[in-house]
A and B are shown apart, each in its own frame.
Chain A
Amino acid sequence: MRRIMAIVLAGVFVPTLLFSQELLQIRGSDTMVNLVQRLAEVYMEKNPQVACAVSGGGSGVGIAALIANRVHIANASREMKEKEYAAAKENGVIPVEIAIAIDALSIAVNSSNPITKLTKEQIGAIFRGEITNWSEVGGPNLPISLYGRQPNSGTYVFFQEFVLGNKNYSPRMKQMNGNAQIVEALRTDRGGIGYVGVGYVRDEHGQVIPGLKVVDVAKEAKSPGVSPLVTENITSGRYPIARALYQYSKGTPKGAVRSFIAFELGPEGQKIVEEMGFYPVSGKYLEANKKLGF
């Protein structure tokens, strides 16, 4: 047993001693972790002198780690709060925000549910616990069971601010550990509703996962429902529940951090963004990135 441990440890440490690589620590959003891991893999193939360690934990976790000076880049699926900026400043860290992709949150229900369209206001009321039965929004007489994320998730915070109008979630909402768990639960729960990134509702063939149904979302009662499954709806800004996915660096990115972010924003990186089910950076975010010289 000891001998095996020694061999394993040697296998881990010796290569790192042979090649003195620069190590990039990246932590944060669970929504982004697969995307950034993929980006890092391709980047490391091209730049063997840099090693990237990407881990999840939630946007709040990544930002807290950046503030505490433990990581080079924080992944966040929401903007940093004033309070967090202030805490960073106290620690002598000046976070700089870079949008690397656009994500849309899809509203998913069980495939047996006849509902096809909900307004943003209805979705907010459902998750605030004001609407508790599907019959109130034109569905069958069935209690609604809510699935959301945990408070350390950027998705949780973004959805609360953007869709619930910064009001409390219903205390009856089940708090799941990640997008995949919500999808899993919705496939078996006939009265369920949940919010997940669009990247998580399709299987590897680009089809919606069996047992799941993605609802069209309308801005107001009078406007038509918009599906997040059509790319143009999101890049044109017509789909109501979309957000930017950010990376925060300590100060203006330099060296390896800069070269990694430049790769992410370049044509190859943005192609990976699309492959992973997200959308390329567009509009005002592009402008902001140009100002930083990307």
Chain B
Amino acid sequence: MKENALRFFFAANGVLAIVILLGIFSLLFTESLPALKELGVGEFLFHLCWDPTSPERASYGILAMVLSTFMVSFGALAIAVPVGVACAAFLADVAPPQVREFLKPVVEILASIPSVVVGFLGVVLVGPFIARLFHMPSGLCALNGALLLAVMALPTIVSICEDAIVSVPQEFKSASLALGATKWQTLVHVTLPSASSGIIAAVMLGMGRAIGETMTVLMATGNAAAVPRSFLDPVRTMTATIAIEMGETVQGSLHYQSLFVIGLLLFCMTFAVNVVSDLVLERFQRVRR
């Protein structure tokens, strides 16, 4: 009796997560459907620029926005992944215990900095620095956003990678060392590949964080609607667009529904990232067996 009740309780929790996910998806879908019907999918996918309040011709192109989001997110990962994995390997494998006891909380404190504060640092510190470095008039650009997001994704990547590296069985390392490999060779050829599934999970979580981050990019990237030509151009991401415009639209208007179209696409993107990471993880685990 008790056994059954408990089983039901856990099953219900599992189902609840799925119900919530489907609920969010269907809400986004139903809210954005009228706009998709009225404007057609082509209006969103084949125009570059987004200017729904234009007095001349309202345009709802999301290409520039999607490109901006990708630039900022992948830029952040390109910085955060090497640094994060190296930092995690140091913490797990190299650092003496005292250093580790001190460094691990420090990295975790990084995670608790509110995104508004990080954005502010981007405006007053990183932005002017970039402007001086590249002799640009203003430092509000994709690179600024990427740097800040890298800092924000680091704690996630470091702590999950570190757990993965620590959980590699000692026998693997001992065997490698016994065969005459140096500590460095063991780390690169044995420990990191064994921990790869955890590392990939960390990277994917970091990416989800980067794609979904709003306030920081809104403050630090300049929000110009044009298609960015390089990392030194101002960009406007999907999240920033929703955040800027959601408050001013009248509920149920075409503009409001088109913002939901962006949200739907964002949801699909993060969903795809997670599915891909799951598939990759599964393959790795199969190879290891």
Contacts and interface: CB of A to CB of B under 8 A. Distances in A.
Size bracket, chain A contacts: 35 or more
Interface in B51-71: 51-56, 64
A87 B54 CA distance: 19
Contacts of B224: 171-175
B250 A67 contact: yes
B165 interface: no
B138 to A, nearest CB: 5
A70 B74 CA distance: 41
Interface in A110-163: 143, 145, 150-152, 157, 160-161
A152 B248 contact: yes
Nearest to B226: A171
A199 interface: no
B278 to A, nearest CB: 37
B222 A168 contact: no
A184 interface: yes
A248 to B, nearest CB: 15
B226 A172 contact: yes
Contacts of A7: none
Contacts of A190: 137
B223 A181 contact: no
B137 A189 contact: yes
Given A168-B56, A191-B137, A174 B234 contact: yes
A177 B218 contact: yes
Contacts of B245: 150-152
Q: Is the interface of B mostly helix, strand, loop or mixed?
A: loop
Contacts of A83: 250
B42 interface: no
Contact of B123 (A170, A171, A181): A181
Interface residues of B, number: 31
Contact of B140 (A68, A168, A169, A185): A185
Contact of B247 (A57, A84, A169): A57
Nearest to A90: B250
B151 interface: no
Nearest to A192: B137
Given A167-B56, A168-B55, A64 B250 contact: yes
Nearest to A172: B226
Contact of B223 (A157, A175, A192): A175
B223 A64 contact: no
Interface in A67-92: 67-68, 83-84, 87
Given A167-B55, A184-B123, A60 B140 contact: no
Nearest to A186: B138
Interface centre among A64, A157, A174, A184 (most CB of B within 10 A): A174
Interface string A80-109: 000110010000000000000000000000
B248 A160 contact: no
Nearest to A58: B248
Contacts of A151: 52-53, 244-245, 248
B247 A192 contact: no
A61 B226 contact: no
A189 B219 CA distance: 17
A70 B249 CA distance: 15
B120 to A, nearest CB: 11
B138 A61 contact: no
B49 interface: yes
A185 B247 contact: no
A49 interface: no
Contacts of B112: none
Given A166-B55, A168-B51, A60 B248 contact: yes
B121 to A, nearest CB: 14
Nearest to B248: A60
Given A152-B248, A185-B138, A175 B226 contact: no
Nearest to B54: A168
Nearest to B132: A188
A64 B249 CA distance: 7
Contacts of A60: 247-249
B251 interface: yes
B33 interface: no
A157 B245 CA distance: 13
A175 B247 contact: no
Nearest to B234: A174
B195 interface: no
Contacts of B226: 170-172
Interface centre among B123, B128, B138, B219 (most CB of A within 10 A): B138
A229 B287 CA distance: 73
Interface in B229-254: 234, 236, 244-245, 247-251
A157 B51 CA distance: 13
A175 B65 CA distance: 14
Interface of B: 49, 51-56, 64, 123, 128, 131, 137-138, 140, 218-219, 222-227, 234, 236, 244-245, 247-251
21 contacts: A57-B248, A64-B247, A64-B249, A67-B250, A83-B250, A84-B250, A87-B250, A145-B138, A151-B248, A152-B247, A161-B55, A172-B234, A174-B140, A174-B223, A175-B222, A176-B223, A177-B218, A181-B123, A188-B128, A189-B131, A192-B138
The 4 closest A-B pairs by CB, nearest first: A60-B248, A171-B226, A152-B248, A174-B222
